[in-house]
Structure 1
Amino acid sequence: MLQILRHSKHVLPHIARLCLISTFLEDGIRMWFQWNEQRDYIEATWGCGYFLASLFVFINLVGQVGGCVMILSRQKVQWACGLLSAIIALQTIAYSILWDINFLMRNLALAGGLLLLLAESKAEGRSLFAGVPTMGDNNPKTYMQLAGRILLILMFLTLIRFGAGYVQAFQNIVGLCLIILIAVGYKTKLSALVLVIQLTLLNFYLNDWWNIPDYKPMRDFLKYDFFQTMSVIGGLLLVVALGPGGVSVDERKKQW
Protein backbone atom coordinates (compact mmCIF):
# COMPACT_ATOMS: atom_id res chain seq x y z
CA MET A 1 0.00 0.00 0.00
CA LEU A 2 2.89 2.33 0.77
CA GLN A 3 4.31 1.57 -2.69
CA ILE A 4 0.99 2.61 -4.21
CA LEU A 5 1.18 5.92 -2.34
CA ARG A 6 4.72 6.57 -3.56
CA HIS A 7 3.86 5.91 -7.20
CA SER A 8 0.63 7.93 -7.12
CA LYS A 9 1.84 11.00 -5.21
CA HIS A 10 1.87 13.21 -8.33
CA VAL A 11 -1.59 12.26 -9.59
CA LEU A 12 -3.30 11.83 -6.21
CA PRO A 13 -3.89 15.56 -5.49
CA HIS A 14 -5.61 15.94 -8.89
CA ILE A 15 -7.91 12.98 -8.19
CA ALA A 16 -8.58 14.37 -4.70
CA ARG A 17 -9.60 17.79 -6.03
CA LEU A 18 -11.88 16.24 -8.66
CA CYS A 19 -13.61 14.08 -6.04
CA LEU A 20 -13.84 16.97 -3.59
CA ILE A 21 -15.63 19.33 -5.97
CA SER A 22 -17.93 16.63 -7.37
CA THR A 23 -20.89 17.37 -5.06
CA PHE A 24 -20.71 21.10 -5.79
CA LEU A 25 -20.51 20.49 -9.53
CA GLU A 26 -23.41 18.02 -9.46
CA ASP A 27 -25.54 20.33 -7.31
CA GLY A 28 -24.79 23.34 -9.50
CA ILE A 29 -25.80 21.44 -12.65
CA ARG A 30 -28.91 20.17 -10.86
CA MET A 31 -29.89 23.78 -10.15
CA TRP A 32 -29.99 24.34 -13.91
CA PHE A 33 -32.11 21.29 -14.71
CA GLN A 34 -34.39 21.73 -11.68
CA TRP A 35 -34.54 25.52 -11.72
CA ASN A 36 -38.32 25.77 -11.35
CA GLU A 37 -38.57 23.09 -8.65
CA GLN A 38 -35.77 24.62 -6.57
CA ARG A 39 -37.17 28.14 -6.95
CA ASP A 40 -40.69 27.05 -6.02
CA TYR A 41 -39.42 25.17 -2.97
CA ILE A 42 -37.51 28.19 -1.62
CA GLU A 43 -40.41 30.54 -2.38
CA ALA A 44 -42.90 28.26 -0.62
CA THR A 45 -40.63 27.56 2.36
CA TRP A 46 -39.51 31.11 3.08
CA GLY A 47 -42.25 33.17 1.44
CA CYS A 48 -39.53 35.36 -0.03
CA GLY A 49 -41.14 35.96 -3.41
CA TYR A 50 -40.29 34.96 -6.97
CA PHE A 51 -37.26 37.25 -7.40
CA LEU A 52 -35.37 36.30 -4.23
CA ALA A 53 -36.09 32.61 -4.76
CA SER A 54 -34.75 32.86 -8.33
CA LEU A 55 -31.72 34.76 -7.05
CA PHE A 56 -31.01 31.96 -4.55
CA VAL A 57 -31.02 29.34 -7.33
CA PHE A 58 -28.85 31.56 -9.54
CA ILE A 59 -26.27 32.10 -6.79
CA ASN A 60 -26.12 28.36 -6.13
CA LEU A 61 -25.72 27.55 -9.82
CA VAL A 62 -23.10 30.16 -10.71
CA GLY A 63 -21.29 30.01 -7.35
CA GLN A 64 -20.86 26.25 -7.35
CA VAL A 65 -19.99 25.74 -11.01
CA GLY A 66 -17.74 28.81 -11.00
CA GLY A 67 -15.97 27.70 -7.81
CA CYS A 68 -15.38 24.22 -9.25
CA VAL A 69 -13.90 25.65 -12.46
CA MET A 70 -11.55 27.87 -10.44
CA ILE A 71 -10.38 24.93 -8.33
CA LEU A 72 -9.82 22.60 -11.27
CA SER A 73 -7.94 25.30 -13.18
CA ARG A 74 -5.95 26.22 -10.03
CA GLN A 75 -6.99 29.87 -10.38
CA LYS A 76 -7.82 31.89 -7.24
CA VAL A 77 -8.30 28.69 -5.24
CA GLN A 78 -8.58 30.56 -1.95
CA TRP A 79 -11.44 32.67 -3.35
CA ALA A 80 -13.08 29.52 -4.69
CA CYS A 81 -12.88 27.80 -1.30
CA GLY A 82 -14.43 30.85 0.35
CA LEU A 83 -17.20 30.95 -2.26
CA LEU A 84 -18.05 27.25 -1.86
CA SER A 85 -17.95 27.58 1.93
CA ALA A 86 -20.46 30.44 1.67
CA ILE A 87 -22.67 28.20 -0.50
CA ILE A 88 -22.53 25.49 2.19
CA ALA A 89 -23.59 28.04 4.85
CA LEU A 90 -26.37 29.41 2.61
CA GLN A 91 -27.78 25.95 1.89
CA THR A 92 -27.54 24.95 5.55
CA ILE A 93 -29.89 27.79 6.41
CA ALA A 94 -32.12 27.70 3.32
CA TYR A 95 -32.83 23.96 3.49
CA SER A 96 -33.07 23.91 7.33
CA ILE A 97 -30.07 21.55 7.52
CA LEU A 98 -29.07 23.25 10.76
CA TRP A 99 -31.72 21.21 12.60
CA ASP A 100 -30.87 17.87 10.98
CA ILE A 101 -27.79 16.49 12.75
CA ASN A 102 -26.86 14.01 9.98
CA PHE A 103 -27.02 16.56 7.18
CA LEU A 104 -25.29 19.14 9.36
CA MET A 105 -22.35 16.80 10.05
CA ARG A 106 -22.08 16.01 6.36
CA ASN A 107 -21.98 19.71 5.50
CA LEU A 108 -19.31 20.26 8.15
CA ALA A 109 -17.35 17.38 6.60
CA LEU A 110 -17.56 19.16 3.25
CA ALA A 111 -16.25 22.32 4.91
CA GLY A 112 -13.38 20.23 6.28
CA GLY A 113 -12.50 19.11 2.77
CA LEU A 114 -12.43 22.73 1.61
CA LEU A 115 -10.14 23.62 4.51
CA LEU A 116 -7.71 20.93 3.40
CA LEU A 117 -7.88 22.22 -0.15
CA LEU A 118 -7.18 25.72 1.14
CA ALA A 119 -4.22 24.39 3.12
CA GLU A 120 -2.87 22.72 0.00
CA SER A 121 -3.06 25.94 -2.00
CA LYS A 122 -1.83 28.22 0.75
CA ALA A 123 1.78 29.30 0.48
CA GLU A 124 4.01 28.41 3.38
CA GLY A 125 3.91 31.09 6.07
CA ARG A 126 6.89 33.34 6.42
CA SER A 127 9.46 32.64 9.07
CA LEU A 128 8.76 34.15 12.45
CA PHE A 129 12.28 35.56 12.37
CA ALA A 130 14.32 36.51 9.34
CA GLY A 131 16.58 33.68 8.27
CA VAL A 132 15.08 31.22 10.76
CA PRO A 133 12.86 28.42 9.38
CA THR A 134 9.29 28.37 10.65
CA MET A 135 8.38 25.38 12.79
CA GLY A 136 5.57 23.28 11.28
CA ASP A 137 3.14 23.88 14.15
CA ASN A 138 3.57 27.68 13.94
CA ASN A 139 2.26 27.72 10.40
CA PRO A 140 -1.48 28.52 10.01
CA LYS A 141 -1.54 25.86 7.29
CA THR A 142 -1.04 23.15 9.92
CA TYR A 143 -4.08 24.30 11.90
CA MET A 144 -6.17 24.25 8.72
CA GLN A 145 -5.05 20.65 8.20
CA LEU A 146 -5.95 19.80 11.80
CA ALA A 147 -9.41 21.38 11.59
CA GLY A 148 -9.97 19.94 8.13
CA ARG A 149 -9.22 16.34 9.04
CA ILE A 150 -11.30 16.54 12.25
CA LEU A 151 -14.30 17.91 10.33
CA LEU A 152 -13.87 15.29 7.61
CA ILE A 153 -14.36 12.37 9.97
CA LEU A 154 -17.85 13.64 10.87
CA MET A 155 -19.04 12.02 7.65
CA PHE A 156 -18.28 8.57 8.99
CA LEU A 157 -20.22 9.23 12.19
CA THR A 158 -23.39 9.59 10.11
CA LEU A 159 -22.88 6.04 8.78
CA ILE A 160 -22.76 4.38 12.19
CA ARG A 161 -25.74 2.11 12.80
CA PHE A 162 -26.48 0.33 16.07
CA GLY A 163 -28.26 -2.99 16.47
CA ALA A 164 -27.78 -4.01 12.83
CA GLY A 165 -25.81 -7.25 13.28
CA TYR A 166 -22.22 -8.35 13.70
CA VAL A 167 -21.04 -7.11 10.30
CA GLN A 168 -22.29 -3.59 11.03
CA ALA A 169 -20.76 -3.70 14.52
CA PHE A 170 -17.39 -4.73 13.06
CA GLN A 171 -17.65 -1.96 10.47
CA ASN A 172 -18.44 0.56 13.23
CA ILE A 173 -15.46 -0.53 15.33
CA VAL A 174 -13.00 -0.44 12.42
CA GLY A 175 -14.32 2.94 11.27
CA LEU A 176 -14.14 4.45 14.77
CA CYS A 177 -10.55 3.27 15.16
CA LEU A 178 -9.62 4.82 11.83
CA ILE A 179 -11.23 8.20 12.53
CA ILE A 180 -9.55 8.37 15.94
CA LEU A 181 -6.18 7.71 14.30
CA ILE A 182 -6.88 10.41 11.70
CA ALA A 183 -8.03 12.89 14.36
CA VAL A 184 -4.85 12.52 16.45
CA GLY A 185 -2.66 12.23 13.36
CA TYR A 186 -1.15 8.79 13.97
CA LYS A 187 -0.44 6.58 10.95
CA THR A 188 -2.53 9.22 9.25
CA LYS A 189 -1.92 8.51 5.58
CA LEU A 190 -2.50 4.78 5.95
CA SER A 191 -5.61 5.28 8.11
CA ALA A 192 -7.05 7.83 5.67
CA LEU A 193 -6.40 5.51 2.73
CA VAL A 194 -8.15 2.58 4.44
CA LEU A 195 -11.09 4.86 5.29
CA VAL A 196 -11.20 5.99 1.65
CA ILE A 197 -11.53 2.37 0.56
CA GLN A 198 -14.22 1.67 3.16
CA LEU A 199 -16.24 4.80 2.31
CA THR A 200 -15.95 4.14 -1.42
CA LEU A 201 -17.30 0.60 -1.06
CA LEU A 202 -20.13 1.77 1.21
CA ASN A 203 -20.95 4.65 -1.11
CA PHE A 204 -21.36 2.47 -4.20
CA TYR A 205 -23.33 -0.08 -2.21
CA LEU A 206 -25.68 2.22 -0.28
CA ASN A 207 -26.11 5.10 -2.76
CA ASP A 208 -26.68 3.28 -6.06
CA TRP A 209 -28.79 6.07 -7.54
CA TRP A 210 -28.19 4.80 -11.08
CA ASN A 211 -30.46 1.83 -10.29
CA ILE A 212 -33.40 4.06 -9.34
CA PRO A 213 -35.87 5.19 -12.07
CA ASP A 214 -35.79 8.89 -12.97
CA TYR A 215 -39.32 9.56 -11.76
CA LYS A 216 -38.67 8.42 -8.16
CA PRO A 217 -37.63 11.14 -5.64
CA MET A 218 -35.26 8.64 -3.99
CA ARG A 219 -32.99 8.90 -7.04
CA ASP A 220 -32.17 12.56 -6.34
CA PHE A 221 -31.65 11.86 -2.63
CA LEU A 222 -29.23 8.99 -3.26
CA LYS A 223 -27.44 10.95 -5.98
CA TYR A 224 -26.93 13.90 -3.63
CA ASP A 225 -25.70 11.56 -0.89
CA PHE A 226 -23.38 9.76 -3.33
CA PHE A 227 -21.61 12.91 -4.48
CA GLN A 228 -21.39 14.34 -0.97
CA THR A 229 -19.59 11.19 0.10
CA MET A 230 -17.31 11.45 -2.95
CA SER A 231 -16.36 14.95 -1.84
CA VAL A 232 -15.42 13.69 1.62
CA ILE A 233 -13.41 10.91 -0.04
CA GLY A 234 -11.63 13.66 -1.97
CA GLY A 235 -10.79 15.40 1.30
CA LEU A 236 -9.42 12.17 2.74
CA LEU A 237 -7.31 11.71 -0.39
CA LEU A 238 -5.85 15.16 0.29
CA VAL A 239 -4.92 13.90 3.76
CA VAL A 240 -3.24 10.93 2.08
CA ALA A 241 -1.40 13.24 -0.31
CA LEU A 242 -0.44 16.02 2.13
CA GLY A 243 -0.11 14.17 5.41
CA PRO A 244 -1.58 15.31 8.72
CA GLY A 245 0.37 18.56 9.12
CA GLY A 246 2.39 19.84 12.06
CA VAL A 247 -0.26 19.30 14.76
CA SER A 248 -0.16 15.51 14.79
CA VAL A 249 1.47 12.53 16.45
CA ASP A 250 3.19 11.63 13.17
CA GLU A 251 4.91 15.01 13.03
CA ARG A 252 5.92 14.87 16.71
CA LYS A 253 7.47 11.46 16.16
CA LYS A 254 9.86 13.00 13.63
CA GLN A 255 11.08 15.41 16.31
CA TRP A 256 11.59 12.62 18.84
Structure 2
Amino acid sequence: MKIVGKTDIGKRRTENQDNYRAGRQSDDTIWAVVCDGMGGARGGAVASSVAVSVLEEEFVRGLLPGLHSAAIRELMEQAAQHANREIYDLACADPSKRGMGTTLVALVLKNGLAHIVHAGDSRAYLYRSGRLERLTRDHSMVQEMVENGSLTPEEAEVHPNKNLITRAVGVNPELLVEYGERQALPGDILLLCSDGLTNFTSEEELCDILGGSEFFGAADAMIDAALAAGGQDNITAVLIKVEATED
Protein backbone atom coordinates (compact mmCIF):
# COMPACT_ATOMS: atom_id res chain seq x y z
CA MET A 1 0.00 0.00 0.00
CA LYS A 2 1.09 3.57 -0.68
CA ILE A 3 -0.12 6.77 1.01
CA VAL A 4 0.50 10.41 0.14
CA GLY A 5 -1.12 13.56 1.46
CA LYS A 6 -0.80 17.30 1.19
CA THR A 7 -2.57 20.37 2.55
CA ASP A 8 -2.24 24.00 1.51
CA ILE A 9 -3.54 27.20 3.08
CA GLY A 10 -4.73 28.51 -0.29
CA LYS A 11 -4.47 32.04 -1.64
CA ARG A 12 -6.93 33.95 0.55
CA ARG A 13 -7.06 32.34 3.98
CA THR A 14 -4.90 33.52 6.88
CA GLU A 15 -5.05 30.14 8.64
CA ASN A 16 -5.22 26.54 7.44
CA GLN A 17 -8.21 24.97 9.20
CA ASP A 18 -7.88 21.71 7.27
CA ASN A 19 -6.20 18.77 9.00
CA TYR A 20 -5.39 15.23 7.95
CA ARG A 21 -3.74 12.10 9.30
CA ALA A 22 -3.05 8.70 7.78
CA GLY A 23 -1.28 5.54 8.85
CA ARG A 24 -0.68 1.85 8.43
CA GLN A 25 -1.19 -0.87 11.02
CA SER A 26 1.08 -3.89 11.48
CA ASP A 27 -1.26 -6.10 9.40
CA ASP A 28 -1.22 -3.59 6.48
CA THR A 29 -4.58 -2.08 7.40
CA ILE A 30 -4.63 1.52 6.16
CA TRP A 31 -6.53 4.39 7.78
CA ALA A 32 -6.88 8.04 6.80
CA VAL A 33 -8.84 11.07 8.00
CA VAL A 34 -9.49 14.50 6.44
CA CYS A 35 -11.24 17.29 8.37
CA ASP A 36 -12.15 20.83 7.28
CA GLY A 37 -12.71 23.12 10.25
CA MET A 38 -15.45 25.72 10.43
CA GLY A 39 -15.96 28.62 12.78
CA GLY A 40 -13.24 31.02 11.71
CA ALA A 41 -11.74 32.79 14.70
CA ARG A 42 -14.11 30.74 16.87
CA GLY A 43 -11.94 27.68 16.49
CA GLY A 44 -12.24 25.84 13.16
CA ALA A 45 -8.57 24.88 13.32
CA VAL A 46 -9.04 23.60 16.87
CA ALA A 47 -12.05 21.51 15.85
CA SER A 48 -10.33 19.84 12.91
CA SER A 49 -7.17 19.21 14.92
CA VAL A 50 -9.11 17.60 17.77
CA ALA A 51 -11.08 15.43 15.35
CA VAL A 52 -8.09 14.00 13.52
CA SER A 53 -6.25 13.44 16.81
CA VAL A 54 -9.15 11.55 18.37
CA LEU A 55 -9.66 9.36 15.30
CA GLU A 56 -5.93 8.66 14.99
CA GLU A 57 -5.74 7.57 18.63
CA GLU A 58 -8.78 5.31 18.39
CA PHE A 59 -7.76 3.79 15.06
CA VAL A 60 -4.21 3.03 16.20
CA ARG A 61 -5.51 1.47 19.39
CA GLY A 62 -8.62 -0.25 18.03
CA LEU A 63 -7.78 -1.51 14.52
CA LEU A 64 -6.52 -4.89 15.67
CA PRO A 65 -5.60 -7.83 13.40
CA GLY A 66 -8.60 -10.05 12.72
CA LEU A 67 -11.18 -7.29 13.26
CA HIS A 68 -14.28 -8.04 11.17
CA SER A 69 -16.28 -5.56 9.10
CA ALA A 70 -19.09 -4.95 11.60
CA ALA A 71 -16.56 -4.19 14.32
CA ILE A 72 -14.68 -1.79 12.04
CA ARG A 73 -17.90 0.10 11.35
CA GLU A 74 -18.68 0.29 15.06
CA LEU A 75 -15.16 1.51 15.83
CA MET A 76 -15.32 4.23 13.16
CA GLU A 77 -18.75 5.47 14.19
CA GLN A 78 -17.83 5.51 17.87
CA ALA A 79 -14.58 7.36 17.14
CA ALA A 80 -16.54 10.03 15.26
CA GLN A 81 -18.95 10.34 18.18
CA HIS A 82 -16.06 10.70 20.64
CA ALA A 83 -14.53 13.46 18.50
CA ASN A 84 -17.92 15.15 18.28
CA ARG A 85 -18.38 15.15 22.04
CA GLU A 86 -14.87 16.40 22.74
CA ILE A 87 -15.22 19.33 20.33
CA TYR A 88 -18.70 20.16 21.58
CA ASP A 89 -17.55 20.15 25.21
CA LEU A 90 -14.59 22.41 24.35
CA ALA A 91 -16.92 24.87 22.63
CA CYS A 92 -19.31 24.89 25.58
CA ALA A 93 -16.43 25.60 27.96
CA ASP A 94 -14.99 28.48 25.91
CA PRO A 95 -17.44 31.15 24.65
CA SER A 96 -14.91 32.29 22.04
CA LYS A 97 -15.20 28.91 20.36
CA ARG A 98 -18.98 28.52 20.41
CA GLY A 99 -20.21 27.18 17.09
CA MET A 100 -16.91 25.66 16.01
CA GLY A 101 -17.03 22.37 14.18
CA THR A 102 -15.50 20.40 11.35
CA THR A 103 -16.37 18.19 8.45
CA LEU A 104 -15.07 14.64 8.57
CA VAL A 105 -14.28 11.95 6.04
CA ALA A 106 -12.45 8.87 7.32
CA LEU A 107 -11.43 5.64 5.64
CA VAL A 108 -10.24 2.26 6.86
CA LEU A 109 -8.95 -0.14 4.19
CA LYS A 110 -8.68 -3.74 5.35
CA ASN A 111 -8.73 -7.02 3.41
CA GLY A 112 -9.70 -5.32 0.18
CA LEU A 113 -12.69 -3.48 1.64
CA ALA A 114 -12.81 0.29 2.09
CA HIS A 115 -14.93 1.44 5.05
CA ILE A 116 -15.91 5.12 4.98
CA VAL A 117 -17.64 7.40 7.49
CA HIS A 118 -18.33 11.04 6.78
CA ALA A 119 -20.20 14.12 7.91
CA GLY A 120 -20.32 17.34 5.90
CA ASP A 121 -18.97 17.98 2.41
CA SER A 122 -15.45 16.58 2.52
CA ARG A 123 -15.44 13.69 0.05
CA ALA A 124 -14.08 10.25 -0.77
CA TYR A 125 -13.49 9.03 -4.33
CA LEU A 126 -12.39 5.81 -6.00
CA TYR A 127 -10.24 5.92 -9.13
CA ARG A 128 -10.24 2.72 -11.17
CA SER A 129 -9.37 1.99 -14.81
CA GLY A 130 -9.51 5.61 -15.90
CA ARG A 131 -12.78 6.45 -14.12
CA LEU A 132 -13.43 8.46 -10.96
CA GLU A 133 -16.37 7.48 -8.75
CA ARG A 134 -17.62 9.58 -5.84
CA LEU A 135 -18.15 7.41 -2.76
CA THR A 136 -19.76 9.99 -0.46
CA ARG A 137 -22.81 12.23 -0.57
CA ASP A 138 -22.43 15.84 0.53
CA HIS A 139 -24.41 16.72 3.64
CA SER A 140 -25.40 20.16 2.39
CA MET A 141 -28.48 22.24 1.64
CA VAL A 142 -27.63 22.26 -2.05
CA GLN A 143 -27.28 18.47 -2.19
CA GLU A 144 -30.71 18.13 -0.58
CA MET A 145 -32.10 20.42 -3.28
CA VAL A 146 -30.53 18.22 -5.96
CA GLU A 147 -32.04 15.12 -4.39
CA ASN A 148 -35.54 16.61 -4.22
CA GLY A 149 -35.33 17.86 -7.81
CA SER A 150 -35.11 21.59 -7.06
CA LEU A 151 -31.65 21.88 -8.62
CA THR A 152 -29.71 20.06 -11.29
CA PRO A 153 -26.19 18.86 -10.42
CA GLU A 154 -24.84 21.49 -12.81
CA GLU A 155 -26.79 24.27 -11.04
CA ALA A 156 -25.59 22.97 -7.69
CA GLU A 157 -21.95 23.46 -8.70
CA VAL A 158 -22.43 27.25 -8.97
CA HIS A 159 -25.12 27.79 -6.33
CA PRO A 160 -24.28 30.65 -3.89
CA ASN A 161 -25.20 28.47 -0.89
CA LYS A 162 -23.12 25.52 -2.00
CA ASN A 163 -21.01 25.54 1.17
CA LEU A 164 -23.88 25.51 3.70
CA ILE A 165 -23.56 22.07 5.28
CA THR A 166 -26.23 20.22 7.23
CA ARG A 167 -23.95 17.99 9.32
CA ALA A 168 -20.71 18.78 11.13
CA VAL A 169 -18.65 17.30 13.95
CA GLY A 170 -18.84 19.19 17.23
CA VAL A 171 -21.78 21.50 16.57
CA ASN A 172 -24.42 19.45 18.42
CA PRO A 173 -24.24 17.01 21.36
CA GLU A 174 -24.94 14.06 19.06
CA LEU A 175 -23.63 13.41 15.55
CA LEU A 176 -25.19 11.49 12.70
CA VAL A 177 -22.48 10.10 10.41
CA GLU A 178 -23.01 8.25 7.16
CA TYR A 179 -21.26 4.92 6.61
CA GLY A 180 -20.46 3.12 3.39
CA GLU A 181 -18.33 0.28 2.01
CA ARG A 182 -16.63 -0.32 -1.33
CA GLN A 183 -14.49 -3.17 -2.61
CA ALA A 184 -10.97 -2.03 -3.43
CA LEU A 185 -8.86 -3.83 -6.03
CA PRO A 186 -5.11 -3.77 -6.70
CA GLY A 187 -4.37 -0.69 -8.80
CA ASP A 188 -7.24 1.34 -7.34
CA ILE A 189 -6.57 4.78 -5.86
CA LEU A 190 -8.72 6.17 -3.04
CA LEU A 191 -8.89 9.94 -2.59
CA LEU A 192 -10.05 11.81 0.51
CA CYS A 193 -10.30 15.59 0.16
CA SER A 194 -11.74 18.81 1.52
CA ASP A 195 -14.06 21.05 -0.50
CA GLY A 196 -11.18 23.41 -1.14
CA LEU A 197 -10.13 20.88 -3.75
CA THR A 198 -13.51 19.99 -5.24
CA ASN A 199 -14.76 23.59 -5.37
CA PHE A 200 -11.87 24.58 -7.63
CA THR A 201 -11.25 21.46 -9.70
CA SER A 202 -13.81 19.36 -11.54
CA GLU A 203 -14.05 15.61 -11.16
CA GLU A 204 -12.89 15.35 -14.77
CA GLU A 205 -9.73 17.29 -13.90
CA LEU A 206 -9.07 15.11 -10.86
CA CYS A 207 -9.54 12.01 -13.00
CA ASP A 208 -7.05 13.33 -15.57
CA ILE A 209 -4.51 14.07 -12.84
CA LEU A 210 -4.82 10.58 -11.38
CA GLY A 211 -4.46 9.03 -14.80
CA GLY A 212 -1.53 11.17 -15.88
CA SER A 213 0.57 11.64 -12.74
CA GLU A 214 3.06 9.50 -10.89
CA PHE A 215 1.32 8.46 -7.65
CA PHE A 216 3.50 10.39 -5.22
CA GLY A 217 3.16 13.54 -7.35
CA ALA A 218 -0.64 13.38 -7.70
CA ALA A 219 -1.49 15.23 -4.47
CA ASP A 220 0.86 18.07 -5.43
CA ALA A 221 -0.70 18.21 -8.89
CA MET A 222 -4.20 18.42 -7.41
CA ILE A 223 -3.22 21.24 -5.04
CA ASP A 224 -1.54 23.10 -7.91
CA ALA A 225 -4.67 22.76 -10.07
CA ALA A 226 -6.91 24.14 -7.32
CA LEU A 227 -4.53 27.04 -6.70
CA ALA A 228 -4.38 27.82 -10.41
CA ALA A 229 -8.19 27.97 -10.49
CA GLY A 230 -8.35 30.51 -7.66
CA GLY A 231 -7.50 28.53 -4.55
CA GLN A 232 -9.62 30.69 -2.27
CA ASP A 233 -9.97 28.04 0.45
CA ASN A 234 -7.73 25.62 2.32
CA ILE A 235 -7.03 22.58 0.14
CA THR A 236 -6.31 19.02 1.27
CA ALA A 237 -5.89 15.74 -0.60
CA VAL A 238 -4.92 12.30 0.73
CA LEU A 239 -4.36 9.40 -1.66
CA ILE A 240 -4.10 5.67 -0.98
CA LYS A 241 -2.98 3.26 -3.68
CA VAL A 242 -4.14 -0.33 -3.32
CA GLU A 243 -1.51 -2.94 -4.10
CA ALA A 244 -1.47 -6.73 -4.09
CA THR A 245 -0.13 -8.20 -0.85
CA GLU A 246 3.09 -9.39 -2.46
CA ASP A 247 3.79 -5.79 -3.59
What's the TM-score once normalised by structure 2's chain length? 0.30
Which protein shows a greater Rg? 1
What's the TM-score once normalised by structure 1's chain length? 0.29
